[in-house]
């Protein structure tokens, strides 16, 4: 058995009928999606297909379907054919997606898993996805859903390059500047490189903020948890905003820091 993973649309599209069939066979666990969703995902490079190459040809093994809005990715389906299970193929597909998302500067990844799917929840737990909330719908035929999320090891504005640690700080001042002004500042006291700024925005103007009272966390605090603590708004981008002392203490404790802040 030689497992390969296909990601490019021209490689994935021929396997879309097999993906649909596999998803339909596992509809009780994966839910229903219209046929067009799989075709669109393949064209957008948001469908990863695992195949087995042998002397008899290439056969479909499983798939991972994802989407979301940058910088937060969402996994909609992960599936492996029964005869190929217990070989860590699902974990391999997930690892492949994770590496790709980190390279594309995503910050988090999430998945929704029915509470009654014991094996599926065990898989997501072992992969480092924590339950951030449970959605209970008491309507007939509806299932409780675990919303699971995992922070990605992506260098960000608040990440130390050496230790990959996350920090919280006070914003002292902010100003509007042109990218051309930043070269010298970035080389002496910037927390992101000039090249990173060029990738983050296409405009000529950027907002520069000065920080002090920086507190390094022992572990990251995912965006969904910050939303639960009402420390950020519903936006997908991390922005500066005022928080109370109680919120500050809660975030610090989530980050593994003593409550005495």
On the CB side of 64, CA atoms within 13 Å amount to 21
pTM: 0.61
Cα separations (Å) of 128 from 34, 70, 123, 135?
29, 20, 9, 20
Tell me which CATH homologous superfamily contains domain 2-151. Answer: Gcn5-related N-acetyltransferase (GNAT) (3.40.630.30)
Environment class of 257 (CB within 10 Å of its CB; exposed 0-12, middle 13-18, buried 19+): middle
For residue range 49-98, list pLDDT tens digits in order: 999 988 778 999 999 999 998 878 999 999 999 999 999 999 999 999 99
Per-residue pLDDT tens over the stretch 202-252: 677 777 777 777 777 777 777 777 777 877 765 544 555 677 878 888 888
In the chain, where are the structural domains located?
2-151, 167-254
At 156, the pLDDT band (50, 70, 90 cuts) reads: low
* Selected residue with higher pLDDT from 121 and 255: 121
């Amino acid at each position: 058995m030689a497992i390969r993973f296909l990601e490019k649309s021209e490689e994935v599209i021929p396997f879309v009928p097999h993906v649909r069939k596999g998803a339909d066979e596992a509809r009780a666990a994966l839910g229903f999606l219209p046929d067009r969703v799989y075709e669109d995902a393949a064209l957008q490079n948001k469908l990863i297909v695992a195949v087995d190459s042998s002397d008899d040809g290439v056969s479909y093994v499983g798939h991972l379907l994802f989407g979301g809005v940058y910088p937060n990715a969402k996994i909609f389906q992960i599936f492996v054919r029964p005869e190929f299970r217990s070989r860590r193929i699902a974990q391999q597909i997930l690892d492949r997606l994770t590496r790709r998302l980190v390279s594309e500067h995503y910050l988090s990844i999430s998945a929704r898993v029915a509470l009654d799917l014991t094996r599926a929840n065990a898989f997501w737990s072992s992969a480092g996805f924590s339950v951030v909330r449970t959605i209970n719908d008491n309507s007939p035929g509806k299932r409780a859903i675990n919303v699971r999320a995992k922070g990605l090891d992506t260098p960000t504005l608040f990440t130390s390059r050496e230790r990959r640690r996350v920090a919280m700080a006070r914003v002292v001042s902010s100003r509007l500047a042109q990218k051309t002004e930043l070269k010298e500042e970035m080389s002496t006291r910037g927390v992101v490189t000039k090249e990173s700024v060029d990738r983050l925005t296409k405009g000529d103007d950027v907002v520069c903020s000065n920080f002090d009272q920086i507190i390094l966390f022992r572990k990251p605090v995912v965006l969904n948890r910050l939303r639960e603590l009402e420390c950020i708004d519903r936006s997908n981008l991390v922005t500066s905003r005022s928080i109370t002392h109680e919120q500050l203490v809660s975030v610090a404790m989530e980050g593994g820091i003593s409550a005495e802040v």
